[in-house]
Amino acid sequence: SEANPLKRVAHKVSETLSGGGPEDGVPGKPAAESPSLAEPTAPREPLPPKPDQSGPATVSPTGQPTGADQARMAQSGAYLTTAQGTRVPDTDHSLKAGPRGPVLLQDHHLREKIMHFDHERIPERVVHARGAGAHGVFQSYGTAASVTKAAFLAEDVETPVFTRFSTVVGSRGSSDTVRDTRGFATKFYTSEGVFDLVGNNIPVFFIQDAIKFPDVVHAAKPHPDREIPQAQSAHDTFWDFVSLHTEATHHTIFFMGDRGIPRSYRMMEGFGVHTFRLVNAAGETTLVKFHWKPKLGVHSLVWDEAQLINGVDPDFHRRDLADAIEAGAYPQWELGIQTFPDTEDQTFEGIDLLDPTNLVPEELAPVQPVGLLTLNRNPSNFFAETEQVAFHVGHLVPGIDVTDDPLLAGRLFSYLDTQITRLGGPNFPQLPINRPHAPVNDMQRDGMHQTAVHRGVAPYRPNSLDGGCPFTAGADAGAFVEVPVRVPEGRKVREAPESFADHFSQPRRFWLSMSPVEKEHIIGAYTFELGKCYEQAVKERTLQVLANIDPELCEQVAAGLGLPAPEPTVPLADVEPSPALSQIGGTWPTEGRMIGIVTGGDDLEGVAAVREAVLNAGMVPLVVAPAGGTLGDGALTVQRTFVTARSVEFDAVLLAGVPGVGSDAYTARDAKSDPVPSGPATTDPRVALLLSEAFRHGKAIGAWAGGDAALQAAGVPATAPGVVVADSGTAALEQVTRLLGTHRVWERFSTQV
Ligand code: HDE
């Protein structure tokens, strides 16, 4: 019987069952001598991280260094292998019966390679499908320590993070600069487990109750018959929905405003939107709203520019983020909180804090900074990190809890559920990007894509076989204990509270807080979007919504549509503007801004000096010339040619002379192949277009060395606001940099309101 291994296993199991456990180290002791079969009561240290909590080891079949940076290579090791580790002699030819014969079914390498390829894609996110992410650190100031016991918000704690920015409506392959809300989701890998702050760049939401989320998304997505339009809200179903659900008015006016087309992810605010509940060590609670404030200020594109970028560079935002990080211009945001007393009615200054279509003006509750986020590392692999990251509003740590916001309740269900489809099962927390950095000791087992090799036999508790572990912790040992808040009494109903019924006073506050030029943009956006609708009833209903915000807004949009402006159907709210909602009027750092330097004359030394000065100012110079290669005997590298450059890439343009067709300061292939006009050099039409676009988009333009002649040719008046004609490149740059501090030359936009 000793030879039968099954019997040995059976014997061992019965020994353990009848005697002490691994705790006393004497397996097989008779039961009488070891009375305690119950769960051991003394907690022990948490188990160390499982082996699967670190990245996969790099396995090299030979163990020989290849001389390359292994971490940056697609494969490691000297030889190509199959997924099973067998070396492969040829991966370029299928196994055939002779070079011209049929491919053989027995080619297992072909079969494995194509099988894997066939399944390389996973379903895209149903919303927020298109995004870009980065790793970073969060440094806490400790200023929140009085209101929350969250360890990562204690003084001077550094926490690794991953942030993903996204558009909402478009598919994975759509463009970055469409008019849309942007997602701003951050995963904090804290010592107490993962905390996710899954926010947007707009502080309010479309709807008040999660049950309407499928409806609003169906309305915003392309029409189901022809799947048109992609990544746009400018179509009938969207405006049909938001005009029928007037709670959407506040969110809609926000993204009809400039925040719908951000200049860069680095220049967006972020908002947790819902009201959360913080708990401190004494068990006291405070209601809060989370805010991210970008160090570079909040800046946007203009609509014409955004549309051009969609064609010229659909990856504009993800490129901008990755380039900035690669260049060491790490984007930063301060995390801030607005705090409100946790009163029974959960309102502040008459604003219902549970209504996610409401914001609390910063003038009434200032945003108090609690820490600094720095994004400092690009992902190594988009799929593994940015695509597979799984955020969830229910990933909470002790000290941060939820409220009864009905929108938040639905999200608490949705974010786990969606990963089952998207990431193929319940083990997505084991994917490297989702793994907590705190030790994990759960009793979850098995399932699709299980990568852990669990030890022990008792994934349940209490148990007496695996030392009784895991023990449960109390609040004093860092457990997440729900705040025992009083649940309001009531009957089961499908109703919203009365206080959710005011849909117009906050949108009106937003409108009244805008500067004239921002108002002009909002009018333009509504006029464009409704102009793309076919249904008269949809346009008319939306005009009624606008009339209830502000008659002037309504009249201007109605005029653009050629329709009569209706009278308001509600009394216009008497609200104070909130200057903090306007993006215009301040000055901000110019670090990381893109400066196009268009070469045109003989002053290559001047160009070199300006390039240097741009770099010294922490901005990015891009030298534009008729053809690629170098200028000035190799002294200056050309980054963009007249073929590849478009104005939309630059925040400001500097012009060194007249970039004329036939100018002989450089070897211009284009110019050579075209007949050289006689007489004075004429401005290259592509440069003229670049200048006129930059002018139209309110960008600062500087010229020297006779560049003003090219401005004239492009129809850019040298005396217009924000157009600088100087004696030297560096003098022009100095003035242009100052103008760039205000982001755009706002005086250039004509305003009627
Ligand atoms: Fe989301 N949302 N959402 N959302 N959301 C998703 O989760 C959902 C809402 C937000 O970069 C999905 O993993 C419901 C508000 C961001 O991976 C899904 C409701 C806010 C991201 C989902 C909302 C957001 C998502 C799709 C109404 C701002 C991208 C894929 C109750 C505060 C995160 C996924 C990333 C993604 C559901 C409303 C932000 C389906 C049901 C409000 C930034 O679970």
SS (H, E, C) 264-304: CHHHCCEECCCCEEEECCCCCEEEEEEEEEECCCCCECCHH
**Mean pLDDT of the 269-290 span:** 97
Mutate which of 125, 127, 166, 172 for ligand 1? The one with the most ligand atoms within 8 Å of its CB, which is 127
Does residue 753 surpass a pLDDT of 80?
A: no
Please state, as a whole number, how many other Cβ atoms lie within 10 Å of the Cβ of residue 524. Answer: 17
Residue 411 annotated as binding site = yes
> Closest Cα to residue 432, out of 479, 396, 379, 394?
379
Query: What pLDDT, on a 0 to 100 scale, did the predictor assign at position 11?
Result: 40
Round to whole Å and give the CA distance between 583 and 205: 19
| Ligand 1 midpoint to CA 106 (Å) | 46
Q: Which residue has the higher pLDDT, 141 or 15?
A: 141
Higher pLDDT, 337 or 468: 337
Q: Which residues pair with 158 in a beta bridge?
A: 139
Pairing of strands 652-656, 700-704: parallel
Q: What is the C-alpha end-to-end distance of the chain, expressed in Å?
A: 96
- Token pair for 2: 């000793």
User: Residues with Cβ < 8 Å from 457, sequence gap 6 or more?
Assistant: 465, 466
**Nearest 5°: CA angle at 363, between 361 and 366?**
90
Name the residue of 382, 411, 416, 421 to mutate for ligand 1: max ligand atoms within 8 A of Cβ. Answer: 411
Place of tokens 């955004």: 306
Tell me, in angstroms, the distance from the centre of ligand 1 to residue 395's CA: 13
Give the Å distance between the CA of 391 and the centre of ligand 1.
Answer: 8
Q: Is the peptide bond before 160 cis (omega within 30 degrees of 0)?
A: no
Determine which helix (DSSP H) or strand (DSSP E) holds 115, and give its type and residue range: helix 108-118
Residue 569 carries which side chain, given as an amino acid letter? T
- Please say whether the beta carbons of 621 and 327 come within 8 A: no
Mean per-residue pLDDT, 515-544? 98
Annotated binding-site residue? 445: no
Task: Report the pLDDT value the prediction gives residue 299, as an integer from 0 to 100.
Answer: 98
Look at residue 743 and tell me whether its pLDDT is greater than 50.
Answer: yes
Whole-number Å distance, alpha carbon 387 to ligand 1 midpoint, is 14
Tell how far the Cα of 148 is from the centroid of ligand 1, in angstroms. 25
Query: Atom 23 (ligand 1): residue with closest C-alpha?
Result: 411
Average pLDDT over residues 97-117: 96
Measured N-to-C along each axis, helices 516-531 and 249-256 cross at an angle, to the nearest 10 degrees, of 110
pLDDT value at 662 more than 90:
no
User: What pLDDT does 657 receive?
Assistant: 85
The helix (run of H) or strand (run of E) holding residue 704 is strand 700-704
Q: How far is CA 592 from CA 166, 596, 656, 737, in A?
A: 21, 13, 22, 12
- pLDDT over 50 at 22, yes or no: no
Nearest ligand 1 atom to the CA of 125 is: 30
Nearest CA to ligand 1 atom 20: 199
Residue 38 is predicted with a pLDDT of: 57
Read off the pLDDT of residues 369-381 as tens digits, 9 standing for 90 and up: 999 999 999 999 9
Residue with CA at minimum distance from ligand 1 atom 9: 411
Q: Where are the beta strands (DSSP E) in 600-678?
A: 620-625, 630-631, 636-637, 640-641, 652-656, 660-661
State the catalytic residue, choosing from 128, 299, 395, 521.
128
The residue whose CA has the least distance to atom 28 of ligand 1 is 199
H helices then E strands: how many in the chain? 17, 22
Q: Give the pLDDT score at 534.
A: 97
Q: The tokens of 598 are what?
A: 């268009």
Q: Which two tokens stand for residue 433?
A: 């990007």
Q: What is the mean pLDDT of residues 235-255?
A: 98
Q: What is the pTM of this model?
A: 0.89
To the query of whether residue 200 is one of the catalytic residues in this protein, the response is yes
Atom number, ligand 1, closest to the C-alpha of residue 419? 13
3-state class of 134 per DSSP? strand
Q: Which is more confident, 661 or 447?
A: 447
Is 422 annotated in a binding site? The answer is yes
**Predicted confidence band of residue 220 (pLDDT cuts 50, 70, 90):** very high
Peptide bond into 470 cis (omega under 30): yes
| Strands, E assignment, 316-382 | 332-341, 347-348, 351-352, 368-377
C-beta atoms surrounding 563 within 10 Å? 14
415 is in an annotated binding site: yes
Q: At what angle do helices 536-549 and 236-244 cross, to 10 degrees?
A: 40
Nearest protein CA to atom 31 of ligand 1, as residue = 210
111: helix, coil or strand? helix
Interatomic CA distance for residues 543 and 566, integer angstroms: 7
Q: Which of 135, 203, 116, 206 lies closest to 169 in space, CA to CA?
A: 206
From its phi and psi, is residue 420 left (phi > 0), alpha (psi between -120 and 50) or beta?
alpha
Range name among 44-58, 142-156, 533-547 with the lowest pLDDT average:
44-58
Which residue lies with its CA nearest to atom 6 of ligand 1? 127
Task: Give the E-state strand segments of 546-632 in sequence order.
Answer: 594-599, 620-625, 630-631
- Ligand 1: atom nearest CA of 210 is 31
Tokens of 219: 């309305």
CA atoms within 13 A on the CB side of 515: 13
Collapse the DSSP code of 526 into the 3-class scheme (helix H, G, I; strand E, B; otherwise coil) and give the result. Answer: helix
pLDDT tens string 307-345: 999 999 999 999 999 999 998 889 999 999 999 999 999
Report whether 389 contacts 177 (CB < 8 A).
no
Q: What pLDDT score was predicted for residue 327?
A: 85
C-alpha closest to that of 247 among 497, 504, 493, 496: 504
Task: Count the Cβ atoms, other than its own, within 10 Å of residue 73.
Answer: 11
Q: Give me ligand 1 centre to Cα 740, in Å.
A: 35
Does ipTM top 0.85? yes
Q: Decide if pLDDT at 693 tops 90.
A: yes
Give me the amino acid identity at 177.
Answer: T
**From ligand 1's centre to the CA of 200, what distance in Å?**
9
Closest by Cα among 521, 507, 513 to 579 = 513
Query: 745, 737, 655: which is closest to 703 by C-alpha?
Result: 655
Residue 552 in this model has a pLDDT that exceeds 90: yes
- Ligand 1, atom nearest to 164 Cα: 11
Minimum-distance ligand 1 atom for the alpha carbon of 408: 31
Which of 336, 344, 343 lies closest to 365, judged by CA? 336
CA-nearest residue for atom 43, ligand 1, is 183
- Per-residue burial over 400-417, b if 16 or more Cβ lie within 10 Å, else e, is bbbbebbbbbbbeebbee
Closest to 247 in 3D by CA, of 26, 579, 545: 545
- CA 185, CA 171: separation in Å to the nearest integer? 18
Distance 415 CA to ligand 1 centre (A): 7
pLDDT reported for residue 106: 96
Q: What is the pLDDT of residue 19?
A: 35
CA angle in degrees (0–180, nearest 5) for 657-663-668: 115
Residue nearest to atom 27 of ligand 1 (CA): 210
Q: In whole numbers, what is the pLDDT of the chain averaged over residues? A: 89
Q: Which residue from 194, 202, 269, 414 has its CB within 8 A of the most atoms of ligand 1, so it is best to mutate?
A: 414
Tell which phi-psi region holds residue 743, choosing left (phi > 0), alpha (psi between -120 and 50) or beta: left
Distance CA(152)–CA(294), nearest Å, equals 20
Lowest pLDDT segment from 15-29, 238-252, 428-442, 545-559: 15-29
Answer yes or no: is 669 a known binding residue.
no
* Domains identified in the chain and CATH numbers: 1-34 (no CATH), 131-434 (2.40.180.10), 504-581 (1.20.1370.20), 594-748 (3.40.50.880)
Ligand 1 atom, smallest distance to 200 CA: 28
CA of 209 from ligand 1 middle (Å) equals: 14
Average pLDDT for 66-76 = 56
CB 224 within 8 A of CB 490: no
Closest by CA position to 139, among listed 121, 158, 152, 120: 158
Confidence bin at 683 (pLDDT 50/70/90): confident
Is 128 annotated as catalytic? yes
Look at ligand 1, atom 7, and give the residue with the nearest C-alpha: 415
Q: Residue holding tokens 């084991």? A: 430
User: What integer pLDDT is reported at residue 227 of this predicted model?
Assistant: 96
User: Checking DSSP bridges between strand 594-599 and strand 620-625, what pairing results, if any?
Assistant: parallel
Which amino acid, one-letter code, is at 523? Answer: I
Closest CA to ligand 1's atom 32: 199
Distance from C-alpha of 542 to C-alpha of 246, rounded to nearest angstrom: 9
Indicate which atom in ligand 1 lies nearest the CA of residue 205: 42
Parallel/antiparallel/unpaired status of strands 158-167 and 131-140 = antiparallel
The preferred substitution site among 184, 197, 415, 428 for testing ligand 1, maximizing ligand atoms within 8 Å of CB, is 415
Task: Please give all residues whose beta carbon lies within 6 A of any atom in ligand 1, as ranges.
Answer: 125-128, 131, 164, 166, 183, 185, 198-200, 205, 210, 213, 273, 389-391, 407, 410-411, 414-415, 418
Query: Residue 189: enclosing H or E segment and its boundaries?
Result: strand 182-190
Q: Which atom of ligand 1 is nearest to the CA of 213?
A: 27
Catalytic residue among 135, 200, 427, 697: 200
Q: What digits encode the pLDDT tens for the residues 705-735?
A: 888 888 988 999 999 999 999 999 999 999 9
Give 69-129 as a DSSP string: -GGGSSS-SSS-B-TTS-B-S-SSS--BSSTTSPBPTT-HHHHHHHHHHHT---PPPSSS-
Residue type, 542: T
Query: Is 8 annotated for ligand binding?
Result: no
- Give SS3 for 166: strand
- Which one is predicted more confidently, 355 or 678? 355
* Reported confidence tier of residue 665, pLDDT bands at 50, 70, 90: very low
**Closest to 503 in 3D by CA, of 557, 452, 544, 450:** 544
The most confident of 202-206, 439-443, 637-641, by mean pLDDT: 202-206
pLDDT of residue 505: 97
